[in-house]
Structure 1
Amino acid sequence: MLDENELGAYIDRHFTSTLFRLETLDLYDVSSNGEDFRRYVAGEPGPDMHRKGRWMDHIRSEVARGLHTYRVHVVHGPLTDYLRYEFEWDYVHNAAAGEHIRILDLTEQPSPEGLVSEDFWLIDEDHAVVMRYDSEGRFERGEIVQEGQLAEYRHARDATWAVAVPFADYWREHPQYWRDPPAA
């Protein structure tokens, strides 16, 4: 079992080339969002670019060192306010900084064979951590996947990545979810 700090250290220790994240929830209650989600829902301008800028610099630094993060978020449209916030205020910026993000909208395409119903990180090819959250989207713990189960998570990564839509394409094709029009 890994708490938030242990999870970060575990990823840092094993991340040497690729990091894959599968997300399946409609809501994540994480402190790293600061006040941005509340501000988004309230119609305030944002995001907090001081906070966001530091994260974008982190992503750019990883890319410059040859480290690449891939993410697939499995959704069921219509998007929740949280997902709209996450896409518009996080993913737009993370993708611009170099994170590879795709969306798998199961209301628009069938579930691929091999999709798992739980969030996980796959670190390089040799380590995986299943993420456990409570019903409010708060992180509870990470569970290290045993070596004999790694093939299931590699298959889930490959299956979802192959059919998911690149984030920029998905976002451009779904203006009904935009709170703010894209910057010109």
Structure 2
Amino acid sequence: MLLAGDAWSARFETFRQEAWRLETLPQYLMPQEAEDFAAFSDGTRIDPRTVSNEYTERLRRQVTEGRSQGRVHIVTRPLSEYLRFEFSQYYHPHSIAGEEIRILDVTDRHNPLEGVPDFWIFDNSEVVLMNYHPDGRQINREVHEGDIAPFIQYRQTAIAESVPFAEYVKGLDA
């Protein structure tokens, strides 16, 4: 089953305990980000402490409700321009709002999750595959119909092998 629109958005309102994502690409070409990405590339920066939008407000609400949202992004250095943008414009304010963001840098090491696709897992009961072209253009979101046990293990590996976002960016010019 493919997910879009309200069916996709509902996943973030209805999960009971945890929503978690694995990101594997150096860039995501999302049309709604094009203007902000261009501004970032031209030198515009935001103060992550002042960001308040629908996403950050939802994160704050989830924290007060005892629900968590997290992710691990697999990266290599040097960071792509998109990753620098994502760290600055999204990860900083989202982590302040309560998202548990971690980074798995595989620049000088074996990637323990080589070949694993991007995915979301909700409450250890549903996996949604995030399908992309190699250049980061999204193809679709697809509910995984098989065994979710491997995805739970992927999440455990990603968390164990990664570091918190704030620790990773210390000293980076992100």
TM-score by length of 1: 0.83
Give 5+ residue unaligned stretches, structure 1: 179-184
Please say if residues 115 and 160 of structure 1, whose CA atoms lie closer than 8 Å, have aligned partners that are also in contact.
no
Quote the Cα distance in structure 1 between the aligned partners of 2:45 and 2:167. Answer: 24
Number of residues of Structure 1 aligned to a counterpart in Structure 2: 172
- Partner in structure 1 of residue 67 of structure 2: 67
Quote how far apart the aligned CAs of 1:32 are. 4.6
Map 1:83-98 to 2 at 5 A. 83-98=83-98
SS class of match (1:53):
coil
Q: Deviation string for 1:113-144 (max 9, x for gaps)?
A: x5552100010111101111124422221121
Map 1:31-180 to 2 at 5 A. 31-33=31-33, 35-46=35-46, 52-54=51-53, 55-112=55-112, 116-146=115-145, 148-173=146-171, 175=172, 177-178=173-174
Letter aligned with residue 8 of structure 2: L
Please say if residues 91 and 101 of structure 2, whose CA atoms lie closer than 8 Å, have aligned partners that are also in contact.
yes
- Partner in structure 2 of residue 7 of structure 1: 8
Q: Deviation string for 1:129-163 (max 9, x for gaps)?
A: 111112442222112112x4200100000001011
Letter aligned with residue 24 of structure 1: T
Please say if residues 115 and 159 of structure 1, whose CA atoms lie closer than 8 Å, have aligned partners that are also in contact.
no
Quote how far apart the aligned CAs of 1:3 are. 3.8
Quote how far apart the aligned CAs of 1:20 are. 0.7
- Partner in structure 2 of residue 16 of structure 1: 16
Quote how far apart the aligned CAs of 1:47 are. 6.9
Letter aligned with residue 56 of structure 1: T
**Aligned CA distance change for structure 1 residues 130 and 44 (closer, same or farther; 3 Å):** same
**Aligned CA distance change for structure 1 residues 49 and 99 (closer, same or farther; 3 Å):** closer
Name the % identity. Answer: 34
Quote the Cα distance in structure 1 between the aligned partners of 2:23 and 2:125. Answer: 19
Over the residues paired in the alignment, what is the CA RMSD in angstroms? Answer: 2.2
Quote the Cα distance in structure 2 between the aligned partners of 1:73 and 1:66. Answer: 23
78-87 vs 36-45, greater mean Cα deviation: 36-45
SS class of match (1:140):
strand
Please say if residues 36 and 46 of structure 1, whose CA atoms lie closer than 8 Å, have aligned partners that are also in contact.
no
Quote the Cα distance in structure 1 between the aligned partners of 2:115 and 2:156. Answer: 12
TM-score by length of 2: 0.88
Please say if residues 118 and 131 of structure 1, whose CA atoms lie closer than 8 Å, have aligned partners that are also in contact.
yes
Quote the Cα distance in structure 2 between the aligned partners of 1:32 and 1:67. Answer: 27
- Partner in structure 2 of residue 182 of structure 1: none
